[in-house]
Every structure is written in C-alpha cells, then in structure tokens.
C-alpha cells in the first residue's frame, strides 16, 4: 500500500472554479458525501456514470491508504417532480400509478440500484443513510434556521428566506448565479403564494390530505424538502465541515447551492472544502435523462436487447468506456464507442495475462518502469485524470508485448513493480474485472461461436430444422442469438 503522504493530489473545486491542492481536514482521513439516487425508477446509465466517477475517486483514496468515510444517501422522500417545491413526490406518484405502498417502491428500486452497482463492481459506501430515516435531524435543522431568522413558517410549510440569508451571506456562491437575476427571473408559479419571495425554497412542506408520505412536525403533518435531507445527513455523519461533496453537474443548482445556504445559515461557515461535480453521459448528443426517455438502462447494455446496440457488453467494458473519459468531460454513449472500448479492454486484459509468461532477463534500456509508475500516480493526482492513466497503462501494454516478442527486456525488480502497478491501477483503482470473472467469458464466447458457425453452415445448406434447433436450444439455456448486418452475435441473461 502506497502512503498517502507521498502523493500531492489536486482537485478541481467547483466552488473556486480551479484546481486546488487537496488537504484533508484531518491528516490521513477523508469525509466524502455524494448525493444518492431518488429511488422511484431504475437507474439509467447516466446515473451510473456519476456514481462510478465517485467510486473511482473513493477507490483511489483507499488505494493511497486514506481512511475514507464515504456517505452516499438514498433519497426516498421529498424529491418532487421537476425538482420543484410544488407537485407530486416522485416516489408517491410511482406508488399511486403502480398501486403500491411508497416504501415498496423505495425497496424495489433500492434493491435494483444495489444490484446494478454490484454488477459494475462498485465498492459499497461506508454509510448509506435514507432521507426517511433522518426526519428528526431535518426537523431539528429547520428549528435552528427559524431561530436564527433564516426560515419562516406559513400555513404549515417552512421556507428558507433567500433574501434574508443573502444580506449576510452569499447565495449563488457555487453556481455563480446572481441574486438580482434570480429575483427577476423567478416567477411565482401557481400555488407558491405561501412564499415571501419566489426564490425561497421549501424546508418542510405541509402534506395535503392526498399526500401519503407524511410525518408529524412542530408545524403540522408534512414532509421534508429535498435539499434539506442532504444537509441533515452529511452533517450528522461527517460533521459541520467536511472534505468533499460530490454529485452530478446538474445538481449544482439549486440542490447544492441550497445545501450550502442551509448549512452556512446554521453554522456560519462553508460546510464543504471541495465541491466536485461529475459531468453528464449523453446519448445522441443529449443528456441521458429519465424524463425525456433519452436513456439506456444497464440491463439493456449487458443483454444487448436494445436497438441502440449491435450486441451485449461486459460490465467491465462499460466501466472501461467510462474510465477512458475524464469525470469532468461530457461523454457520449454509442455502439461504436463501446465496440472500441471492448477492443481496448481486451488488449489490456491480454497484456495482464501475457505478463505472467514473459521472460525475466535484464533491465530495459528504453522503458523506465519506476518513472512510468510515478506517471500513473501523477495522472490520478491531477484531478483523477483516468484517460491519462489509461494512456499510461497502454504504454505498459506496448512494453509487455515488446518483451513477449523478444524486442525488449525486464529484470525481476522492475517486473515486480510493473506487475504490482498494473494490478493496482487496473483492478483496484479503475475497478475493472478480468474477463474470465464473467459468465460471458472468452471460453463461453468461443463455444457459442462454434455453434453460430454450425448454424450458418446449416442455413447455407437450407437445413433450417437444424439451424432453428441450434438457435432455440441456445435460447432455452439463456443465450440469445441476434442476426445483424455484421453477422450473428449473442447475449446472455
């Protein structure tokens, strides 16, 4: 295990808009909070990308030897439609449509979320608190905000007073929004007349009779505001000031801006030292989103059962595809991009295998393993630059293949460093798995390919009884053949 003290990490801080040297509050320990999913539907691949970016960051810190407390919540109440203060709770709406108890919806999609993250080889966070499990903490936080004059109650709802806060603090500090613009551009919507000013946001909402997710409070029966949940849970588990807060870029405003205001209004200082925002995954150049239907589900990618893909892909190929982009860059999803990542991933895995059988002879004259190793760390230390890391790994792949072909050499000491570093970065930090760990391993692919060839022969001889038999019997054991322009591919369930 490398010692963290050896590495100088810099992190792009959304709060300052620049890269800053990373210095944790307590040496050797890191507190990190990441906004979790709202569990009212299956997570799409865009959601997975954001969580994967933070999984990679979590993995790197752990690899360096930091003691990390990584808190990623589950939003199971209070997140209304359109991210607004009015409208139906997303979970309650789903429950109404499906005729389920809201907690059944929550359970169903929390289980789905965990299964998907497991499939993609995520590490579990240290704590995964739920919003509904922290209603008391949220109520206590609101009481403090009212006491300090930053929140007011109207008709059983409580709102944060943005203008009052802004007289002594700086609303808009994270998103760069200007308060005057906000005042002019936020128009009161129907039903928001309870608010003093339209830019105020809900801390607690009165529950109308039809609102089924409801809790008692000093202001009557209601439910908490979405922004408040994260403030209550991050403060509870990481303290009034902690190192890193993350989430997708689209959460910067209003969600994270409001989190800062809620915390600062109570504690009089910034709650978080480094704000990190992961960029979006797009499909056809547009943000993947649940609401527009422009998205792809992880299950569709693994099975290939979608018209967007020519075949299914291994979870590690998808992971490698994501890691080839920097977490702050937009990444566009396409069949071609995944096919290219599959090639890259296989090349990397082949080199890992090759490494086990190369001859150890004498040091190389050309490839300096130690400085290569440091370049791998430098890439990650520079705001977790995984594309540069991947490029470094491929320079090692080239070197390994040269040794295999007798065009280069390595001695034992350098071999040990090379093997260890490849292992650390490929498996521990990037979180990839060796191809053979998967049910669609190379051997299975080879065997199915033999059957595909036999089927093609049968078809060429117009023996459709046999060709159909091959296809149907494969289907019976969960292997689906797909005939496409580029030949036949297969997917497994």
* Contacted entry of Zn ion, ligand AMP, none for residue 304, CB cut-off 5 to 8 Å set by kind: none
Q: Which residue of 31, 46, 298, 312 would you call a contact of ligand AMP, by CB under 6 A?
A: 46
280 binds, among ligand AMP, Zn ion, none (CB under 5 to 8 A by kind): ligand AMP
Give min distance, CB of 81 to ligand AMP, in A: 11
Q: Does 145 sit near ligand AMP (CB under 6 A)?
A: no
Per the listing, tokens 């046999």 go with 466
What single-letter DSSP state applies at residue 100?
Answer: -
Q: Are 303 and 492 in contact (CB under 8 A)?
A: yes
Closest to 319 in 3D by CA, of 95, 76, 26, 123 = 123
DSSP result, 19-30: EEE---SSTTEE
Residue 288 touching ligand AMP (CB under 6 A): yes
**73 touching ligand AMP, by CB under 6 A:** no
Distance between CA atoms of residues 174 and 155, nearest Å: 31
Q: By CB under 6 A, tell whether 225 contacts ligand AMP.
A: no
Binder of ligand AMP out of 247, 271, 298, 312 (CB under 6 A): 247
Which residue is associated with the tokens 């709202």? 38
Q: Phi-psi category of 344—alpha, beta or left, where left has phi over 0 and alpha has psi -120 to 50? A: alpha
3-class SS of residue 69: strand
Question: Which among 32-40, 114-122, 141-149, 428-436 is the span making contact with Zn ion, rule CB under 5 A?
Answer: 32-40
Question: Smaller CB distance to ligand AMP: residue 232 or 251?
Answer: 251
**What is the CB neighbour count within 10 angstroms for residue 245?**
29
Helix locations, 126-220, DSSP H:
135-147, 162-168, 179-185
Candidate residues 230, 325, 355, 403; the one interacting with Zn ion per rule CB under 5 A: 230
> Is residue 355 near ligand AMP by the rule CB under 6 A?
no
Cβ 187 to Zn ion, closest distance in Å?
Answer: 25
Q: Which stretch binds ligand AMP (CB under 6 A): 43-51, 105-113, 173-181, 298-306?
A: 43-51
Stretch that binds ligand AMP, among 1-9, 15-23, 200-208, 246-254 (CB under 6 A): 246-254
Question: According to the 3-state scheme, what is the secondary structure of 53-67?
Answer: HHHHHHHHHHHHCCE
Do 253 and 42 contact (CB within 8 A), yes or no?
no
Distance set, CA 477 to CA 299, 346, 388 (Å): 18, 26, 41
Longest CA pairwise span in the chain (Å): 84
Is 34 near Zn ion (CB under 5 A)?
Answer: no
Smaller CB separation from ligand AMP, 287 or 375: 287
Angle at Cα 307 formed by Cα 306 and Cα 311, nearest 5°? 65
Q: Which two structure tokens, joined as six digits, stand for 185?
A: 């551009």
Q: CB of residue 78 vs Zn ion: minimum separation in angstroms?
A: 11
Identify what 195 binds: ligand AMP, Zn ion, none; CB under 5 to 8 Å per kind.
Answer: none
Cβ(308)–Cβ(300) below 8 Å: yes
Residue nearest to ligand AMP (CB): 248
Question: How many residues line the site for ligand AMP (CB under 6 A)?
Answer: 16
Residue 230 interacting entry, from Zn ion, ligand AMP, none, C-beta within 5 to 8 Å by type: Zn ion
**Is residue 37 at the binding interface for ligand AMP, with CB under 6 A as the rule?**
yes
In this structure, are strands 18-21 and 29-34 parallel, antiparallel, or unpaired?
A: unpaired
Number of residues that bind Zn ion (CB under 5 A): 2
* Cβ neighbour number for residue 380 with a 10 Å cutoff: 24
Q: Of 104, 128, 153, 250, which one interacts with ligand AMP (CB under 6 A)?
A: 250
Instruction: Give yes or no for residue 228 binding ligand AMP (CB under 6 A).
Output: no
My answer on whether omega of the bond before 407 falls inside 30° of 0, hence cis, is: no
Give me the least distance between CB of 90 and ligand AMP, in Å please.
9
**Site residues, Zn ion (CB under 5 A):** 35, 230
**Site residues, ligand AMP (CB under 6 A):** 35, 37-38, 46-47, 49-50, 247-248, 250-251, 280-281, 287-289
């Amino acid at each position: 295990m490398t010692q963290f003290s050896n590495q100088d990490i810099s992190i792009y801080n959304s709060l300052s808009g620049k890269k800053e040297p990373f210095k944790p509050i307590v040496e050797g320990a890191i507190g990190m909070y990441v906004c979790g999913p709202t569990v009212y539907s299956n997570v799409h691949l865009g959601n997975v990308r954001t969580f994967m970016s933070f999984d990679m960051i979590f993995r790197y810190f752990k690899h360096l030897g930091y003691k990390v407390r990584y808190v990623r919540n589950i939003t199971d109440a209070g997140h209304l439609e359109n991210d607004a203060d009015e409208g139906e709770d997303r979970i309650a709406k789903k429950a109404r449509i499906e005729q389920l108890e809201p907690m059944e919806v929550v359970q169903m999609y929390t289980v789905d979320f965990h299964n998907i993250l497991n499939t993609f080889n995520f590490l579990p966070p240290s704590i995964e608190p739920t919003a509904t499990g922290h209603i008391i903490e949220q109520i206590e936080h609101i009481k403090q905000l009212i006491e300090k004059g930053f929140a007011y109650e109207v008709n059983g709802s409580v709102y944060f007073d943005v203008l009052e806060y802004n007289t002594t603090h700086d609303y808009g500090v994270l998103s760069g929004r200007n308060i005057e613009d906000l005042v002019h551009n936020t128009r009161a919507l129907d039903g928001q007349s309870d608010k003093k000013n339209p830019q105020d946001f809900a801390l607690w909402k009165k529950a109308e009779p039809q609102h089924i997710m409801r809790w008692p409070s000093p202001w009557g029966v209601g439910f908490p505001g979405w922004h408040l949940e994260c403030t209550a849970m991050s403060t509870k588990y990481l303290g009034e000031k902690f190192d890193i807060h993350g989430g997708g870029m689209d959460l910067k405003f209003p969600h994270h801006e409001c989190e800062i205001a809620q915390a600062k209004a109570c504690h009089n200082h910034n709650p978080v030292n480094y704000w990190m925002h992961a960029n979006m995954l797009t499909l056809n150049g547009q943000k993947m989103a649940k609401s527009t239907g422009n998205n792809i589900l992880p299950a569709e990618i693994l099975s290939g059962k979608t018209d967007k893909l020519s075949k299914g892909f291994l979870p590690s190929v998808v992971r490698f595809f994501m890691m080839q982009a920097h977490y702050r860059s937009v990444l566009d999803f396409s069949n071609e991009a995944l096919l290219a990542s599959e090639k890259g991933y296989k090349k990397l895995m082949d080199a890992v295998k090759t490494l086990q059988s190369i001859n150890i002879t004498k040091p190389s004259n050309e490839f300096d393993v130690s400085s290569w190793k440091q370049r791998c760390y430098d890439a990650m230390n520079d705001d977790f630059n995984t594309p540069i890391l991947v490029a470094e790994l491929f320079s090692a792949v080239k070197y390994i293949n040269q040794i295999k072909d007798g065009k280069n050499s390595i001695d034992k000491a350098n071999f040990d460093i090379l093997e260890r570093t490849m292992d650390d970065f490929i498996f521990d930090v990037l979180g990839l798995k060796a191809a053979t760990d998967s049910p669609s391993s190379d051997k299975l692919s080879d065997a199915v390919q033999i059957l595909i060839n036999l089927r093609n022969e049968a078809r060429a001889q117009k023996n459709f009884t046999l060709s159909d038999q091959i296809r149907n019997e494969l289907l019976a054991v969960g292997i689906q053949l797909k005939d496409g322009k580029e030949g036949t591919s297969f997917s497994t369930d």
